[in-house]
Structures are given as structure tokens and as C-alpha cells.
């Protein structure tokens, strides 16, 4: 069992904290927008979908094993502007702590263009490598999601792969996946 992360995290303009039930209205507003969820692994959320997502986000406070994740609400001047996640995906050996983490994010479009996603993602990367014994971080995204690809590059990730038609879309079609990665030693050198 890994210890819970030291939260909240404070950056120059943001506070990253655990997600609480009262965040539902703000998260529901941007996650109900089909334009926001266009490249996410879930459709625009209705009330039932939001309830399930909120249940998972609120519970995601202290990951320890692959499959578990940490969810963080991102606030600016006490306004929720987005949320982030760090999900453990793999470990070196059967009893070892997690070695690979996957990053994800979603931000309200009305707060875009102000650098909040970059600032928050950098704070999450720092937390991932200082608090957890991770060897590598990765992000998997639809290559058409140019904003997320640029965010990966701004936080020091390298585009490592482009896999063709490996993700089944909700409409039955197939889309590609871009994979970005950042090793602990690259983060430490930066």
C-alpha cells in the first residue's frame, strides 16, 4: 500500500486537490459538451453518466496498484477549471510497486488558452515522480487532438508511437492512437 499523496498541490495560479461531490456541477458542465469529450474515452455525459464518473473521481484519492488512479480537481481563484488523472498501468515485478503511470486531463473550454492545463500537468508530473516510485509516465491520445499533443510536448514528453486504427470509436469506426512518454531520468535532467 502506497501512502496517499500530499495534497493539495499549489502552483503559481492553481490548486490541485482531490475531487469532491460538490464538483459535480462544474465537471458536469464541461463533460456534457460533445466538443470537449470528442477525443475522450467516454461520450458527452448525461446525468447518469456524470453520477458514475463522479463516484469514480471522488474515490480516486490514493492509488497503490495497477488499474487504480488519482483524480485531481484543478481550481483557479476557487473556480474549478478542469481535472487530471494519474492511473497506474504496470509494474516491474508481481510484488513491486507500480512503475508506469498514465496521465489524462480534461479542461473547461472557457478557461482554455491561459496555460492552466500546462501548469496543472507539470505539477502532476512532478508529484508522480517525487511521490511515487514510477519509472515512466505516458499519455495516450487521439492524434487529431492537437491541443493535448502540444500539452504533452510542453511538459517534456516525447512522441513515441502512432498506432493505426487500434481504438474502437463509439460509432463503430476505428481511430488511431498517439503515445507520448517521459522517463524519470528525463524529468530529473530537466
Q: Which CATH number fits domain 9-189: 3.40.630.30, 3.40.50.620, 3.40.50.720, 3.90.1200.10?
A: 3.40.630.30
Cell of 93: 515485478
182, 66, 67, 71: which is closest to 122 by C-alpha?
182
Res 92: pLDDT: 80
Whether this model's pTM surpasses 0.85? yes
- Closest listed residue to residue 183, CA positions, set 125, 127, 142: 125
The 10 Å CB-count burial string (b at 16+, else e) for 128-143 is bbebbebbbbbbbbbb
**Is residue 50 over pLDDT 90?**
yes
Q: Within 13 A of 164's CA, how many CA atoms are on the CB side?
A: 0
Spatial distance between the Cα atoms of 110 and 190, rounded to a whole number of angstroms: 31
Residue 59 in this model has a pLDDT that exceeds 90: yes
pLDDT by residue (tens digit) across 128-172?
A: 999 999 999 999 999 999 999 999 999 999 999 999 999 999 899
At residue 165, the pLDDT reads: 97
Q: Report domain extents, the chain.
A: 9-189
Task: Take residue 178 and report the three cell numbers written for it.
Answer: 498517439
Largest CA distance in the chain: 45
DSSP state of 109: G
Amino acid at each position: 500500500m502506497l501512502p496517499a499523496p500530499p495534497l493539495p498541490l499549489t502552483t503559481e495560479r492553481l490548486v490541485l486537490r482531490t475531487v469532491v461531490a460538490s464538483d459535480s456541477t462544474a465537471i458536469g458542465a464541461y463533460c456534457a459538451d460533445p466538443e470537449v469529450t470528442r477525443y475522450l474515452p467516454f461520450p458527452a455525459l448525461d446525468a447518469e453518466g456524470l453520477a458514475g464518473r463522479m463516484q469514480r473521481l471522488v474515490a480516486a484519492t490514493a492509488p497503490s496498484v495497477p488499474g487504480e488512479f488519482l483524480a485531481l480537481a484543478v481550481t483557479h481563484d476557487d473556480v474549478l477549471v478542469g481535472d487530471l488523472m494519474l492511473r497506474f498501468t504496470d509494474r516491474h515485478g508481481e510484488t513491486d510497486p507500480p512503475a508506469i503511470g498514465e496521465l489524462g486531463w480534461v479542461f473547461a473550454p472557457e478557461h482554455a488558452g491561459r496555460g492552466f492545463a500546462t501548469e496543472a500537468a507539470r505539477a502532476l508530473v512532478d508529484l508522480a515522480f517525487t511521490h511515487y516510485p514510477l519509472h515512466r509516465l505516458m499519455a495516450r491520445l487521439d492524434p487529431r487532438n492537437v491541443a493535448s499533443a502540444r500539452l504533452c510536448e510542453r511538459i517534456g514528453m516525447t512522441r513515441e508511437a502512432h498506432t493505426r486504427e487500434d481504438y474502437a470509436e463509439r460509432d463503430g469506426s476505428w481511430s488511431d492512437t498517439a503515445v507520448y512518454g517521459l522517463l524519470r531520468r528525463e524529468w530529473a535532467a530537466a
